[in-house]
Amino acid sequence: MRSFYGETLECRLMLGTAQYPSPAIMAEAFRASGAGVATVSLRREAGGPGGLAGQDFWALVEGMGTRILPNTAGCHTVKEAVTTAHMAREMFGTPWVKLEVIGHTDTLQPDVFALVEAAEILTAEGFRVFPYTTEDLVVAERLLAAGCEVLMPWGAPIGSGLGLTNLPGLRALRAQFPEVPMVVDAGIGLPSHAAQAMEMGYDAVLLNTAVAKAGDPAAMARAMALAVEAGRAAFAADPMEPRDMAAPSTPLIGRAFLA
């Protein structure tokens, strides 16, 4: 498996910690999924592991034994994102940060200009940045030049469950940077969406709402984990190319000729 900033994860599914009916259900979902990474919003847990607010939640997350990826969810400016990243590094004790700089309120589409600027600042300060971005090739080049070693293009708007809405764009991005670790982040609604991303050669999938809002979060988490595994196995198997015409699976040579 490709490494993320030098660290290899046993599971290619990354799972968010927000919106679950209860902390216990969240923990059950993580156990069912075997997720290799848990994203945690600093705004959700402002008290951090050392404060009064959020102590119980932090203890629960820490006890799951999952790699923590703090994020800057809800930030709309470079200054806000950079400040939040610094607080997250202090509270969670990791240089990893999922960098979000939101540019559009309704779609939660990233502000790619501010994203590149914030990434430059944070990588220069030793952060390991996972940028939540679009599938734009030029933006990807700028983020890599800024020091990012991972790209996290969206599949669709956060929480929409629409799946992969720009397949040609995601394929082009994967093909353009074949050696860069990439995670499809946001918009995944069904296990089939997750499998599709992995079949395209992406290295992992990050999702939250599809599991947290399911009728049975643990069962959906398990389904997502299986889909990610199946999709990656299919990619590694070098699947057949689609074709416009039918091709008989039974050879014509040797068929009996009936007059």
Residue 159 labeled ligand binder: yes
Give the pair of three-digit tokens for residue 4: 């993320």
Report d(CA 147, CA 183) in Å as an integer. Answer: 17
134 among annotated binding-site residues: no
The two tokens of residue 254 are 């040797």
Which residue out of 12, 67, 89, 98 is catalytically annotated? Answer: 98
71 is in an annotated binding site: no
Q: Is 175 annotated as a binding residue?
A: no
79 among known catalytic residues: no
215 assigned ligand-binding residue: no
**6 vs 69: CA distance, rounded Å:** 15
Exposed/middle/buried for residue 21 (C-beta within 10 Å: 0-12, 13-18, 19+): exposed
On whether the CB atoms of residues 200 and 9 are closer than 8 A, the answer is no
HEC secondary structure over the chain:
CCCECCECCCCCEEEECCCCCCHHHHHHHHHHHCCCEEEEECCCCCCCCCCCCCHHHHHHHHHCCCEEEEECCCCCCHHHHHHHHHHHHHHHCCCEEEECCECCCCCCCECHHHHHHHHHHHHHCCCEEEEEECCCHHHHHHHHHCCCCCEEEECCCCCCCCCCCCHHHHHHHHHHCCCCCEEEECCCCCHHHHHHHHHCCCCEEEECHHHHCCCCHHHHHHHHHHHHHHHHHHHHCCCCCCCCCCCCCCCCCCCCCCC
Which residues are known binding-site members for 1-deoxy-D-xylulose 5-phosphate? 159, 186-187, 208-209
Which residues are known binding-site members? 159, 186-187, 208-209
* Active site (catalytic) residues: 98
